[in-house]
């Protein structure tokens, strides 16, 4: 598209935050749906979705994904992107389970890494199994790239037809154990992409704001939301996901990038 509309993804919940660390965290299906509506009203078109069980713990239960998805769809028009990452340690079958609901998009993490003090397991066998489930559902994959080696793996596994033919790339920068959120790193990653490959940046914590600006200026797309960052500015928690999306929209406006509608997002990413 000539004017390169900006796709804003909002990561509403995640698996790591708790009400103790972030009191406004949406947890129940109704709370997640309300947060979704606010984020979409502010300008997000893709919702990266994790859900929680009745105790507020991260869950990959199909029934909860179904309920949350239905509630979101009643409130707003958007593209749902299910997490297959779950929480660190979620068993493979559980990670894949929500894919049977055939969301438009789902994530696929491209390698094992230290994730803070824990290990986020994405062996080649795990990647292959999740990729197969994504392909079987006719779902568009977003490849989660936490480190340069994972981008090298994209080419290697694509050459063996393990990955879906078409995918979108998300650079997740700043996880302790992954690639740091520095501009040099982002330039290195983007330089390695083939022409025309779509990409997003999700930078953690206080880097979410500057990397939103960097990605907008570089022609990429952005992910904001409380999965990655709970602060609006130093010492001030974000009021909501919608507040973080609204700031990304204002930045886009200043940098003369129009914000993509849902149909433009589908067109840019070639969604089904």
Residues lying near ligand KMH in the complex (CB under 6 A) are found at 14-16, 83-85, 87-88, 107, 109, 115, 120, 144
Q: Give the shortest CB-258-to-Zn ion separation in angstroms.
A: 27
Nearer Cβ to ligand KMH (69/259)? 69
Residue 59's binding partner out of Zn ion, ligand KMH, none, with CB under 5 to 8 Å set by partner kind: none
| SS3 at position 98 | helix
Nearer Cβ to Zn ion (43/85)? 85
Q: Give the shortest CB-78-to-Zn ion separation in angstroms.
A: 16
Burial class (CB in 10 A: 0-12, 13-18, 19+), 148: middle
Q: Give the shortest CB-103-to-ligand KMH separation in angstroms.
A: 12
Q: Give the shortest CB-255-to-ligand KMH separation in angstroms.
A: 27
Q: Give the shortest CB-83-to-Zn ion separation in angstroms.
A: 4
Q: What are the structure tokens assigned to 46, written together?
A: 């893709």
Q: β-strands 199-203, 79-82: how paired?
A: unpaired
Q: Give the shortest CB-42-to-ligand KMH separation in angstroms.
A: 21
Residue 115's binding partner out of Zn ion, ligand KMH, none, with CB under 5 to 8 Å set by partner kind: ligand KMH
Q: Give the shortest CB-242-to-ligand KMH separation in angstroms.
A: 20
Burial class (CB in 10 A: 0-12, 13-18, 19+), 131: buried
What secondary structure does DSSP assign to 27-95, as a single string?
A: -SHHHHHHHHHHHHHHT--EEEE-EE-TTS-EE--HHHHHHHHHHHHHH---EEEE-SS-STT--HHHH
Residues 152-156: contacts with CB under 8 Å, at least 24 apart = 153/110, 153/111, 153/127, 154/110
Nearer Cβ to Zn ion (108/209)? 108
Q: What are the structure tokens assigned to 131, written together?
A: 């990729």
Q: β-strands 231-233, 236-237: how paired?
A: antiparallel
Alpha carbon dihedral 142, 211, 23, 14, in 10-degree steps, equals: 10
Burial class (CB in 10 A: 0-12, 13-18, 19+), 8: buried
Q: Interface with Zn ion includes 212 (CB under 5 A)?
A: no
- Cβ proximity of 10 and 48 under 8 Å: yes
Selected range binding Zn ion among 28-36, 64-72, 79-87, 151-159, rule: CB under 5 A: 79-87
Q: Interface with Zn ion includes 83 (CB under 5 A)?
A: yes
Residue number with the shortest CB distance to ligand KMH? Answer: 85
Nearer Cβ to ligand KMH (6/204)? 204
| 231 beta partners | 237
# residues near Zn ion by CB under 5 A = 1
Residue number with the shortest CB distance to Zn ion? Answer: 83
Nearer Cβ to Zn ion (164/225)? 225
Nearer Cβ to Zn ion (83/207)? 83
Nearer Cβ to ligand KMH (119/255)? 119
Q: Point out which residues bind Zn ion (CB under 5 A).
A: 83
């Amino acid at each position: 598209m000539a004017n390169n509309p900006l796709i804003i993804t909002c990561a509403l919940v995640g698996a790591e935050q708790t009400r103790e660390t972030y009191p406004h965290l949406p947890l129940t299906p109704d709370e997640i749906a309300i947060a979704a509506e606010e984020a979409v009203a502010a300008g997000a078109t893709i919702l990266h979705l994790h859900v929680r069980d009745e105790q507020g713990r991260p869950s990959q239960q199909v029934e909860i994904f179904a309920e949350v998805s239905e509630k979101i769809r009643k409130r707003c028009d958007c593209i749902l992107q299910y997490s297959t990452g779950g929480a660190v340690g979620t068993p493979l079958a559980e990670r894949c389970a929500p894919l049977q609901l055939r969301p438009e998009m789902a994530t696929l993490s491209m390698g094992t890494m230290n994730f803070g003090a824990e290990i986020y397991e994405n062996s080649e066998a795990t990647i292959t199994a999740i990729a197969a489930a994504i392909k079987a559902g006719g779902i568009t994959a977003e490849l989660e790239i936490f480190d340069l080696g994972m981008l090298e793996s994209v080419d290697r596994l694509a050459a063996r037809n393990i990955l879906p033919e078409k995918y979108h790339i998300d650079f997740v920068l700043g996880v302790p154990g992954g690639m740091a959120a520095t501009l040099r790193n982002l330039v290195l990653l983007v330089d390695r992409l083939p022409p025309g490959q779509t990409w997003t940046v999700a930078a953690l914590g206080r880097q979410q704001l500057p990397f939103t600006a960097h990605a907008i200026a570089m022609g990429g797309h952005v992910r904001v939301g409380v999965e990655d960052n709970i602060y609006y500015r130093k010492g001030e928690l974000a009021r909501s996901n919608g507040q973080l999306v609204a700031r990304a929209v204002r930045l886009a406006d200043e940098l003369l990038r129009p914000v993509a509608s849902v149909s433009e997002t589908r067109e840019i990413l070639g969604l089904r």
